Amino acid sequence: MKIPTRAYWQLLQRYLAPQRGAVLLMSGLLLASISLQLTGPQVVRLFLDALQAGAGIPLLIRSALLFIGVTALQQVLSVGATYWSERVAWTATNQLRADLTAHLLQLDPSFHTAHTPGELIERVDGDVNELAGFFSSFIVQLVGSALLLMGVLIAVYWLNVQLGLAFTAFVGLTLGLMGRVWQGGTPHWQADRECSANFYGYIGEVFTATEDLRASNAMPYVLRRFFEVGQRWWPVRLQASIWGQSVMNAAIIALAMGEALAYGMGGKLYWSGAISLGAVYLVLAYTAMLGAPIETLRIQLQDLQRANASIIRVRELLAIRSKLTGGAERLPQGALGVEFHAVTFSYQEQPAPHHENAGVEQAVLHTLSLALKPGRVLGVLGHTGSGKTTLARLLFRLYDPQQGAVRLGGVDLRDVQLSALRARIGLVTQDVQLFEASLRDNITFFDATITDARLLTVLEQLGLQTWLAQLPNGLDTPIASTSLSAGEAQLVALARVFIKNPGLVILDEASSRLDPATEALLDRALDTLLQGRTAIIIAHRLATVERADEILILEQGRVLEQKSRQQLVADPNSRFTQLRRIGLAEVLV
């Protein structure tokens, strides 16, 4: 895949423009260093010619001191240029990592289902690492190397036209050979990056499933797969490395030919009296100096082979767009009414409309309709796979239904900006994600604008001040997924939702694994949380929906029963009454 030139400039402009001061400083240091590189051999030439002409010791000493000063200053400038190039590179790549991460978080779940976390980590970090040299010094090094080549050629032409023509031909052939070799390597480095992503994707899967793997004694299988993935990567990496090495080999051969040319022509011109001994040294020094820009070009071309592959993959990733787009409608304030109108939904792509099974066999929900008034609590019951959790996902607009519409407060979710929609919905699930951070940061999601006074008020309103007092450092207590029980983690989730102040609260199996004491604490907090809010309680157990105003029972994605809880309890033939009569807590599993 050939990358258009504008793609390089777009990346450079986007990530280097904010650092224009640092880039200018880096460029100035680099160009000053190159100028001193050209000056050094001229000082040595003057020294040799003066020595051959019988100049006095004071002149020779001044020439030697001048050469030492030029060389030392050139090294200082080179170190400064290297420092600033690394700084520019890390700033640019870190910003690109942040942009890629933010982009991935905005993509819909269907994308994340198709890509493992390990693969995405490699795309965000591994591919971007390959672009560090491109951001830091690619253009500056190319321009600097080109200026150094031009400076050498001008100096040689000034010295002798024949030498200038020979050097020009040598440089042209060398660059042409290296460019030819470079073009063939990009596809191989792209394949290498893909294999790398697959490898780290597999590693991510393994580390996520360590408990199941150990319990199933599956380690031999894991290791066999590990070596199989590595074996598929090895020949691809070998081919890419060979192409990268070919650029270096081409440069070495060309430099050897250049040195032979310099010695031959320099000696011939010296014995013919056309140039002085100092000029011969100048020719040899400039020939050796040509090795620096050619070596720089060689390194840059090798880096660009890998950068090309990474740029392709980064552009492909940034080009992916979420299937979900929002509008400009606003949700009303306060409790939100909920409406599902003839909703049919499937997690797989639906067959063509004319297909005889279109939208039937694969659907999770079938023409489902329900209405919940603001401030009411709906209890949703059903067997596993009946579509209960899918309701929550559609309300959060993680997916859109293939048919029908979902509305909050009378507004179609497709007409609301996603961030505004999700800010008005709170979710508490059975499994709560905790971060390696303090309790404060886990509740506020690292939002520094939320004060401790606000946090303490929220915890007090939820009746959790006693629980907070039991923590060793209060809000500063460091917590993680292993330091809190399942019930305590859900208390954190309740505080998150309460501080968010949503118009709709969804509880998805929120109390299915709690001990009686924690469940009682959770129930008291829920009573406070649900006041003045619409709520949907998704449960397997009948006891979980005792606080519900209305009951919805799903079966295979269809509404089996939907009425107020009082009506269903009063009806001896209702499915809900039958379930209560049986009295089995897990009857719907």
Of 145 and 586, the structure prediction assigns the larger pLDDT to 145
Helix axes 57-106, 20-52, angle to 10 degrees: 160
> What's the pLDDT score for residue 137?
59
Handedness of CA 581, 582, 586, 589 (dihedral sign): negative
Rounded Cα distance between 99 and 320, Å, is 13
pLDDT value at position 503? 92
- Give residue-wise pLDDT tens across range 142-177: 666 777 777 777 777 777 777 778 777 777 777 776
* Amino acid 369: pLDDT: 92
Q: Can you tell me the mean pLDDT for 390-416?
A: 91
In the chain, the largest separation of any two C-alpha atoms, in whole Å, equals: 123
Q: Where are the chain's structural domains?
A: 5-319, 375-388+423-582
Residues ≥6 apart with Cβ < 8 Å to 275: 159, 160, 266, 269, 283
Q: Give every CB contact of residue 294 below 8 A, 6+ residues apart in sequence.
A: 145, 174, 178, 251, 254, 255
Q: What is the pLDDT of residue 411?
A: 92
Which pLDDT value is given to residue 106?
84
Domain 5-319 is classified in which CATH homologous superfamily? ABC transporter type 1, transmembrane domain (1.20.1560.10)
Please report, as a single letter, which amino acid is at residue 137.
S
pLDDT score of 211:
65
List, in order, residues 6 or more apart from 519 with CB less than 8 Å away.
487, 511
Residue 356, pLDDT above cutoff 50 = no
Q: Which residues of 74-99 are buried (b: 16+ CB within 10 A; e: fewer)?
A: beebbebbbebbeebbebbbebbeeb
Q: Could you read off the pLDDT of 467-525 as tens digits, one per residue? A: 888 888 888 988 876 677 777 888 888 888 888 889 999 988 765 555 666 777 777 88
Write the DSSP assignment of 438-506 as a string of letters: EHHHHHHTT-TTS-HHHHHHHHHHTT-HHHHHTSTTGGG-EE-TTTS-HHHHHHHHHHHHHHH--SEEE
Confidence at 316, pLDDT banded by 50, 70, 90 = confident
Under a CB-based contact definition with an 8 Å cutoff, are residues 507 and 526 in contact?
Answer: yes
234: exposed, middle or buried (C-beta count within 10 Å: 0-12, 13-18, 19+)? Answer: exposed
310 alpha-carbon distance from chain centroid: 13
Query: So what's the pLDDT on residue 368?
Result: 92
- pLDDT for residue 18: 85
* Average pLDDT for 562-578: 87
Quick one: pLDDT band at residue 374, thresholds 50, 70, 90? very high
Q: How confident is the model at residue 337 (pLDDT cuts 50, 70, 90)?
A: very high
Torsion angles phi and psi, residue 484, rounded to 5: -120, 150
Highest mean pLDDT among 234-243, 296-305, 383-392: 383-392
Q: What pLDDT score was predicted for residue 216?
A: 66
CA distance 248 to 243: 9
Distinct helix (H) and strand (E) counts, the chain:
22, 12
User: Where is pLDDT greater, at 158 or 389?
Assistant: 389
Residue 201: how many other CB atoms lie within 10 Å: 20
Torsion, Cα of 132, 136, 138, 144 (10° steps):
-160
Interior angle at CA 74, CA 70 and CA 77, nearest 5? 140
Between 358 and 298, the more confident residue is 298
Summarize pLDDT for 8-49 with one digit per residue, the tens: 677 777 888 888 888 888 878 877 887 787 777 777 777 777
Among 196-205, 272-281, 293-302, the range with the most confident prediction by mean pLDDT is 196-205
C-alpha torsion angle, residues 476, 477, 480, 481 (rounded to 10) = -120
Q: What pLDDT does 277 receive?
A: 66
Mean pLDDT score, 435-447: 87
Q: Write the CB contacts of 25 (distance below 8 Å, at least 6 apart in sequence).
A: 84
Residues in a beta bridge with 437? 479
Question: What is the C-alpha to C-alpha distance for residues 408 and 426, in angstroms, rounded to an integer?
Answer: 13
Which pLDDT value is given to residue 318? 83
Return mean pLDDT, the chain: 79
Q: Mean pLDDT throughout 369-395?
A: 89
Regarding beta strands 504-508 and 365-372, do their DSSP bridges make them parallel or antiparallel, or are they unpaired?
unpaired
Taking the domain 375-388+423-582, which CATH number applies? Answer: 3.40.50.300
Query: Where residue 1 falls among pLDDT bands split at 50, 70, 90?
Result: low
User: What stretches of 2-52 show up as alpha helix (H) in DSSP?
Assistant: 5-16, 20-52
Count of CA atoms in the C-beta half-sphere (13 A) of 516: 0
Q: What is the pLDDT of residues 190-213, one digit of tens each?
A: 778 778 877 877 777 777 777 677
Q: If we measure between CA atoms, which residue out of 561, 498, 574 comes closest to residue 535?
A: 498
pLDDT at 182 over 70: no
Same fold for the pair 5-319 and 375-388+423-582: no
Q: What is the pLDDT of residues 93-129, one digit of tens each?
A: 888 888 888 888 888 888 887 787 777 887 788 778 7
* Residue 96 · residue 128 · CB < 8 Å: yes
Confidence category of residue 339, pLDDT binned at 50, 70, 90: very high
